[in-house]
Structure 1
Amino acid sequence: MPDQCAQLSWTASPWTTWIEITGPSHLRFVQGLCSNDVVALEVGQGCEAFIPTVQGKILAHGYLWKSSDRIEFMGLGNQAPDLMAHLQKYALIEDVEVTDQGDHSKAILVWGEGLIVCLQTLLGGEAVMGSLTQGNVAWEGHSLRLSFPTALNVDAVEIRGEQAEAFAAQLSQRGAAEVGVDAFDQARIAHRFPCHGIDITAEHLAQEANRDDQAISFKKGCYLGQETIARIDALGHVNKKLVAVQLPCEVSHLPQPITVEGKEIGQITSAANLDGKFVGLAMIRRSHNAPGTRIESELGTIEVI
């Protein structure tokens, strides 16, 4: 039987924003600042969420992981400076401590078909296994923290700890391929997962990210920015949103304006070559962003998928 690890890819973790919130009021504190319902999570579970501004715009986007004594935020890219300032501002009136853990440990991301079988082989049945779960496991006398985000189109796990690189070496010995950030970007684009700072920014409203089902609870209690988010939900639409597109050609310079008859109706923010097809993520105005729409642009025909 072939080694399931040989079907995997791994890279240094792109989830470089890692912030820890602890203290007696940590759960209430985070619940009042995020778009999803962390109170409803079981210990060891996570959820995708936005940290909105008062205006309902996307200050940060990523995953929140619930432990018995803390909540951890995991996000792509360098979201920490603005998010830390935001959290620390409100922490002044709460009994919580906010700590930037992004540089305090090493981490890798592993993904691909056969991931669960490979982890069971190397870590045993104790390892948490399943989307949006998190936990610590022992490996060769050391602790590794496993988090299973849903950002890719296949099973994926972030492995964090001082021995993360040693674990990656073990994966490579069993045939797993070390790849770069481009391979990760291909996988996240295929699954329509945005990168904060590239596809979405603090200038975008939460619903413009097109992640309502995954990242917003419309049933939880009040939180910062909820008024705007609820008002947009009642209205039924935003004026633009992030969608997946099939492109007529490779796009080398990003962001790339989408121009129709001399008028810009959107921007391509991420692009990848997936099995010979050029696809991307684009922030497009409501007039042109419905699935199946064919946009006759200056780049050629762009299809919303």
Structure 2
Amino acid sequence: MSCATVFFPSTASYTCRAAIPRRSLCPSSFHKLQNEAFLCRNDNSRNKKLSIPCGLPLDLSPPPIDYDPLDKTMAAESKVAEHGINKTFDNDDEALDAVDNGVVVVDLSDYGRIRVSGEDRIQFLHNQSTANFECLCEGQGCDTVFVTPTARTIDISHAWVMKNAISLVVSPITCGSITEMLRKYIFFADKVEIQDITKRTSMFVLVGPKSSKILEDLNLGDLVGQPYGSHKHYSVSGMPLTVAVGNVISQGGFTLLMSPEVAESVWKALLGQGAIPMGSNAWETLRILQGRPAPGKELTDEFNVLEAGLWRAISLNKGCYKGQETISRLVTYDGVKQRLWGIRLLSPVEPGSFITVDGKKVGKLTSFTAGRKASEPFGLGYVKRKAASEGDTVIVGENVVGTLVGVPFLREQLPPS
């Protein structure tokens, strides 16, 4: 762990058309700020530049050597504001464009965070999910998949190996069930503790090509270019902040996990560096366009982990784990019968609609979005491998024409040669 002191810039300036509106603030903190003018006007500028006063965004420093983020977040639990995630900041198309040519910040504090601690935590997760945890060291991370004994998908998890625990990020709808499932498999002699720390933490993600520039401007550039899952801990006003390479939707960008007490300051710091806020509606559109499978849609009892294409999160040689026998048979005998595709559509269609080729049912649409400016209909769906491949035309529903295309998230999941 680095011992060099790191600072967020004490001041930052930018040009804006008007005062920052309510929807530009972290949803949980606007009510605290509505009577505060946290921007001060520089009247000497012809463009009326606004600058963040001294003390904002943050003073960032390394944590103690034996630092454990939970030590501080537990004390902050009673101060967590109950709030819903903003569905929109009235800028959905702008935010989606920024994913391609700028950077967006998304509040994913509704996503589940599970802390697995105890002396046997590595071996425990090694046996309960698809990734090889035994080959990871402190400061590294990976994707792993929780599956049923027959390798049907439950959820993908973003995992970080820390000094005293492994932190898992899971989807909002699976956090409770995965927590209970893991507790169920703790045997009497296992030294393992499972804690749901969702309400004790906040989480933002940065997505877009300028994500690295923002980290560099905040003096966090030592993470730029590091492998996916790499992470470091920092202390903000005595409260924890963990920054990791990658996020739940891609290997690019970054994830910031923090105490709720500093979430407001971190959010303002990111906006001050030019990040565009993205609401949950645009995030769901981005998820589908990227091709990231979601529980209840692409990840269900109907589909196994290889049909979902989640090769990056699977170890084929780590030995016994839940679902391992089924996965081994599927690989050995080339038993994957269907595949998840992106589908470029000519018009809207309902998820759950059948996909057909030459009048024969070959699959099912699992997700749909109208796309940017509601003019780019796009979906995700499973299609039998022998029925169609990339570039082929399919019919979705009654008569909607679609074209099978590759999607970024699944392109990162290369199967073994």
Scaled by the length of structure 1, the TM-score of the pair is: 0.88
| More divergent stretch after superposition (292-301 vs 219-228) | 292-301
Matched with 1:267 is 364
> Which residue identity does 2:162 align to in structure 1?
S
Matched with 2:89 is none
| Structure 2 alignment gaps of length 5 or more | 1-12, 15-97, 406-417
Q: 1:95 to 1:244 in 2, by over 3 A?
A: same
Q: 1:34 to 1:28 in 2, by over 3 A?
A: same
Matched with 2:139 is 44
Matched with 1:229 is 327
CA displacement at 1:226 relative to structure 2: 0.3
| More divergent stretch after superposition (38-47 vs 272-281) | 272-281
**For each residue in 1:31-88, what CA deviation from the matched residue of structure 2 results, as whole angstroms up to 9, or x when unmatched?**
1111111111232111111112212222332222111322221122321222112111
Secondary structure in structure 1 of the residue aligned to 2:138: coil
Q: Which structure's residues are more often strand, by fraction? A: 1
| Structure 1 alignment gaps of length 5 or more | none
Q: 1:10 to 1:73 in 2, by over 3 A?
A: same
Matched with 2:36 is none
1:173 aligns with 2:272: yes
CA distance in 2, matches of 1:210, 1:125: 32
CA distance in 1, matches of 2:229, 2:381: 26
1:90 aligns with 2:185: yes
**For each residue in 1:207-245, what CA deviation from the matched residue of structure 2 results, as whole angstroms up to 9, or x when unmatched?**
121122x11111211111100110111121323222112
Tell me which structure has the larger Cα radius of gyration: 2
Alignment of 1:212-291 (within 5 A): 212=311, 214-251=312-349, 253-259=350-356, 264-272=361-369, 273-274=371-372, 276-291=375-390
Given that 1:111 and 1:155 are in contact with CA atoms closer than 8 Å, whether structure 2 keeps it comes out as: yes
Matched with 1:145 is 242
Given that 1:128 and 1:134 are in contact with CA atoms closer than 8 Å, whether structure 2 keeps it comes out as: no
> Which residue identity does 2:285 align to in structure 1?
Q
CA distance in 1, matches of 2:127, 2:238: 38
Q: 1:63 to 1:96 in 2, by over 3 A?
A: same
Secondary structure in structure 2 of the residue aligned to 1:91: coil
Instruction: Give me the identity figure in percent.
Output: 23
Q: 1:14 to 1:138 in 2, by over 3 A?
A: closer
Given that 2:345 and 2:377 are in contact with CA atoms closer than 8 Å, whether structure 1 keeps it comes out as: yes
Secondary structure in structure 1 of the residue aligned to 2:218: helix
| More divergent stretch after superposition (117-126 vs 256-265) | 256-265
Secondary structure in structure 1 of the residue aligned to 2:185: helix
Given that 2:341 and 2:380 are in contact with CA atoms closer than 8 Å, whether structure 1 keeps it comes out as: yes
Decide which of 199, 204, 221 is 2:303's aligned counterpart.
Answer: 204
CA distance in 1, matches of 2:112, 2:181: 14
CA distance in 2, matches of 1:250, 1:53: 33
Given that 1:13 and 1:158 are in contact with CA atoms closer than 8 Å, whether structure 2 keeps it comes out as: no
